[in-house]
Amino acid sequence: MTTGNLTPTADAQQAVVTDGTGSAWTEERDIPEPAAGEALVKVTAVGICGSDVGLIEGEGPPWTDYPIVLGHEVAGEVVALGDGVEDLAVGQRVALHGFIYCSRCTACREGRYYQCDELKEIGFTVDGGYRPYAAWPAYTLTPLPSDVSAVAASQIDSAGCTLHAMNRITTRFTDTAAVLGPGSLGLYGVQLLRTQGVDDVILTGTREERLAAGERMGASKTINVREEDPIDAILEYTNGRGVDVCVEAAGAGDVLQTCVKSAARQGKIVLTGAFGDTKEIDPDEIVAKELTIVGGVTASHAVDEVIELLQRGALTIDDVVTHEFPLRDFEEALDTVRERRDGAIKVVLRPQA
Ligand SMILES: [Zn+2]
Ligand SMILES: [Zn+2]
């Protein structure tokens, strides 16, 4: 093991754990020694994902391995290296992409390691980053340039999920797009569409402060679905034509049907949210309008692109990350997310604060 002068002095720490029965609590855990191929990471920022709140309520993916230390939107700093790690250095700042894979199965050999037959997901089946120190395989860690802050790096997962899903379609300069859902996935979606040259972007949602944030990020039209029917409003805005691109970023309610109904002929629908149950859609509309529907499930293939866009200023976390809390205040932080307190959009925990 290689260590620097950043090695933790205590040998125990508090980690935030849940068993999926509605609560999360702290437990004392050892600060791990990095095994061969692993790096010990000092966690400096970890985003609270909507799926973390779902995990606490037992609404995580069926493969979740409880009890689990939450946290997959992690930025940190390497403090020690296990044997055989040559492409990371002690003191290096890193972002996590949370997939542990076999590298032998067909999906892995085809580069889709996030679809590995033996996939393990950090924060879902392997303990995550709601703790000050964690050891993970070195290949899950991407070095960060100095001009990308820890909080910005904690957003690579959210922005990368949307970017990866959007990479599965092509857009044209003249497209009109709709983003359904003004959470972090949707707000990064608005920015990404603008960066791709799509400058007519509709944003729908229920909360005025989130819609206003979307306008500041370049949305040309916002629709509050509590006041207007989103299908009618989108069709009216597009003179009955519908949108060429519809990015579903809510993962709730009947937004899927809204996508199908408000898409133009040969429109493209991008699904980024997880619904947790079955939704009704009208298949005749998919056939008649020749729609393309794609889903995206990972940020791991988009880490480098998101870092580059953050560096260029083409992607900003301003107005998306609204709150930061020290890890010890995780209960208040989780309530802030649950109740969308004080206009909360994205809340980030700081385990070293
Ligand atoms: Zn997430
Ligand atoms: Zn594999």
Read off the pLDDT of residues 51-104 as tens digits, 9 standing for 90 and up.
Answer: 999 999 998 888 899 999 999 999 999 999 999 999 999 999 999 998 999 999
Separation of alpha carbons 126 and 217, rounded Å:
35
Q: How far is the CA of 122 from the centre of ligand 2 (A)?
A: 15
Q: How many Cα atoms within 13 Å fall on the side-chain side of residue 14?
A: 10
Q: Is 60 exceeded by the pLDDT of residue 2?
A: no
Interacting residues of 215 by C-beta distance below 8 A, sequence separation 6+? 203, 222
CA of 121 to the centre of ligand 2 (A): 12
Strand (E) or helix (H) holding 260: helix 255-262
322, 300 contact by CB (below 8 A):
no
Distance 50 CA to ligand 1 centre (A): 7
d(CA 140, ligand 2 centre) in Å:
14
CA of 212 to the centre of ligand 1 (A): 23
pLDDT of residue 7: 55
DSSP string, 128-159: -SSSSEEEEEGGGEEE--TTS-HHHHTTHHHH
In the predicted model, is pLDDT for residue 307 greater than 70?
yes
With tokens 């309530």, the residue in question is 335
Domains of the chain: 2-155+320-350 (3.90.180.10), 160-295 (3.40.50.720)
Looking at residue 5, its pLDDT comes to 43
Ligand nearest to C-alpha 107: 2
**Nearest listed ligand to the Cα of residue 103:** 2
Looking at residue 50, its amino acid is G
